[in-house]
Amino acid sequence: MSQKEEEPYKSLKRVIWQYENCLSCVWFEPNDPVNADLLERGKCIEPNLKKFELIVSGRDWCNKFKEIPQKTIDSKQEQAMKE
Ligand code: SF4
């Protein structure tokens, strides 16, 4: 494949369905942490964005994305089940 043919393919790779989204972001505070999915709505608590009181869905995204560790997900879900 020549260099020219590879360019469109590279562009297409960038528009695939996002895997980095609010649902998998450490700053996403879902309404229901136990059943949260891509359609779940919640607050964005990223320190610089928090003042805007953004309500985002699990499938939203921004350049402040930071992947949430599985341990944090487990902890949030355990806490939610106690409440
Ligand atoms: S808006 Fe950005 S920082 Fe906030 S939860 Fe979504 S990806 Fe994370």
The candidate with the shortest Cα–Cα distance to 68, out of 33, 32, 17, is 33
**How many structural domains comprise the chain?**
1
* CA-nearest residue, atom 2 of ligand 1: 62
- How would residue 83 be classed by pLDDT, with cut points 50, 70 and 90? confident
pLDDT value of position 16: 47
In a domain, 70, yes or no: yes
Domain encompassing residue 29: 22-82
Residue 42 placed within a domain: yes
Q: Which pLDDT tens digit goes with each residue over 52-63? A: 999 999 999 999
Q: Helical H runs in the chain? A: 3-14, 70-82
Ligand 1 mutation target, pool 21, 22, 29, most atoms within 8 A of CB? 22
Ligand 1 pocket test: which of 50, 56, 61 has the largest number of ligand atoms within 8 Å of its C-beta?
56
Q: Is any ligand 1 atom within 6 A of the Cβ of residue 36?
A: no
Q: pTM for the whole thing?
A: 0.77
3 falls within a domain: no
Q: Decide if 55 is inside a domain.
A: yes
In a domain, 58, yes or no: yes
Q: Residue 15: pLDDT band by 50, 70, 90 thresholds?
A: very low
Task: Tell me, yes or no, whether 78 lies in a domain.
Answer: yes
pLDDT at 4: 56
Residue 1 lies in a domain: no
pLDDT(72) > 50: yes
